[in-house]
């Protein structure tokens, strides 16, 4: 039986969207920016809870890491949870995108 590497971890569609948003947004991404990025690019309306549940799942899988930022006056002293994609997450989304590209190649769909 073949052992699955982190690059081959199966990703759900929304997990893929979150990882792609993280690649686009860089190291200062947080829940609201991820939500806005996905909404702007897909036209979907998202609940912020869906983003955070997915981020938690990706963190358990070892694909992202979160940290709590410093309190900011703009947020009334509340802290923001920043998220960064880890190398394993970048490999996983790269693997997924390549596989998708191979599946649609020659179909004239995109």
Q: Residue 10 pLDDT more than 90?
A: no
Coarse DSSP helix, strand, coil percentages of the chain, rounded to the nearest 5 percent: 60, 10, 30
Q: What is the pLDDT of residue 74?
A: 66
Helix (H, G, I), strand (E, B) or coil at 30: strand
Summary mean pLDDT of the chain: 89
User: How many helical (H) and strand (E) elements, i.e. helices and strands, does the chain have?
Assistant: 4, 3
Residue 102 has which token pair? 């191979």
List the domains of the chain with CATH numbers: 11-104 (1.10.10.10)
User: Which of 46, 54, 70 has the alpha carbon at shortest distance from 19?
Assistant: 54
* Mean pLDDT, range 69-82, rounded to an integer: 72
* Mean pLDDT, range 32-59, rounded to an integer: 97
Q: Residue 73 pLDDT more than 80?
A: no
Distances (CA, A) of 89 to 39, 105, 110: 21, 24, 25
Q: pTM for the complete prediction?
A: 0.85
**Burial tier of 26 (Cβ tally within 10 Å: 0-12, 13-18, 19+):** exposed
Q: Residue 48 pLDDT more than 80?
A: yes
* Mean pLDDT, range 92-99, rounded to an integer: 94
pLDDT band at 23 (very low <50, low <70, confident <90, very high): very high
Q: Residue 57 pLDDT more than 90?
A: yes
Beta bridge partners of 29: 83
């Amino acid at each position: 039986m073949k052992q699955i590497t982190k690059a081959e971890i199966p990703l759900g569609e929304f997990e893929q969207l979150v990882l792609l948003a993280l690649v686009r947004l860089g190291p200062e991404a947080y829940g609201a920016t991820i939500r806005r990025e996905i909404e702007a690019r897909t036209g979907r309306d998202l609940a912020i809870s869906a983003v955070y549940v997915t981020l938690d799942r990706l963190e358990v899988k070892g694909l992202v890491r979160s940290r709590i930022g410093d309190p900011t006056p703009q947020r009334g002293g509340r802290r923001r949870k920043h998220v960064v994609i880890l190398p394993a997450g970048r490999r996983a989304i790269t693997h997924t995108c390549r596989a998708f590209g191979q599946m649609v190649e020659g179909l004239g769909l995109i």
